[in-house]
Amino acid sequence: MANKKIKEIRLAPKVKREHRIVISLNDKEKIVLDNFCKKYKIEKKAKFVRETLFTAILKRLDEDYPTLFDEKEMR
């Protein structure tokens, strides 16, 4: 019965991606991205770019989150 629960968790429905965003890279940026993906054996560039983008977004939102005290008061 435990295996069934594990399978149910792993088989959670995937979120359908319906919105497309297109970016353009210059030649040097494309070479850097290609070389990076090759070096670190990244097969799915779209997934890599999406995860990297949202990591940066969530980090910035976390840093900009309002606090009760100013930075000076917290030191």
Give 47-56 pLDDT, tens digit per residue.
999 999 999 9
pLDDT in tens, 2-31: 566 555 556 667 788 899 999 999 999 999
User: What are the sequence ranges of the domains in the chain?
Assistant: 25-66
SS3 state at 56: helix
Report residue 69: phi and psi, to 5°: -120, 150
Q: Give the Cβ contact number of residue 49 at 10 Å.
A: 15
Q: Model pTM?
A: 0.67
